[in-house]
Structure 1
């Protein structure tokens, strides 16, 4: 059985749990991280992931880290070509949105989220919070334009792995107390995702 090291509230762990649910994979969630009694920066954990971050996947003795990579691996190993197509161009369209989520989108929300949701004492500058919220809305506007064009999901009419990583990000945006830009396609997308039981269980449970 797959072993996933992390904790369910983590946005990156939720990507992996949602992917497992869509594929129908059984797994064991071994709780690691703040509040679990197993802090990640321990020698034991750092042997698995030198960056000290969750999730970590252990599959038949093989270890992987980086949530988007884990999701790609699981869909590829189980030949879920509906989620990650084998055609190079179709796959690239899915992966570009996954990479954008992990880079430009994540970078935009970090300060505002840490200040307003995590209440971190290291993120208290009002100007930086406002700048982060504005950048976050701009990036979400990019997604809104794409969703308005497709009328359904990130890459077209069908649900793919891109929608898993973007779906948890949309949930975070909607759940964070900022002034949200008027993005009707994003809100409609969120409602569309809520029709999927795996999103309700794993994607919509935490910010």
Structure 2
């Protein structure tokens, strides 16, 4: 059960689509389906850092499934701070599903997302070295993750090709958020 609601999900608009790829990645044609049940543009296969795993369809082609959004929001919760939770911006699920599906297509097999950090309470965020004070993690609009079989550099390139809003490149993970479009940065010792 989701404990707290950050904003009204029914008022959020959907921006969906794939932007032309950059680099050496082959993107499928718009509307091309995934050959796997776990991975697709309308669903996610994801595991949080507590070890809980979920494969779920969150988008029906017209709208987000409210029950799926609740289940994913619970998976995103801050289990290190009393299971605090908020509704997660469903556009984040769309970004992650697009990244996951495109890289899985390149790998020829479904690749699970391993989420290192989802929602964080402000209290816990303040204890994390290098975390932004006004982090999108604290309002349910960010994820730090890895994609099995791909180094963070490749995940970053694909996310950039798909024009995700906020994108950070770090040595051991990739950060994606639904903040202002076009923000790009690299963690300490990394270059874009």
Give the TM-score of the pair, scaled to structure 1: 0.27
Give the TM-score of the pair, scaled to structure 2: 0.29
Q: Higher strand share goes to which structure?
A: 2
Q: Higher helix share goes to which structure?
A: 1
**Bigger Rg, structure 1 or 2:** 1
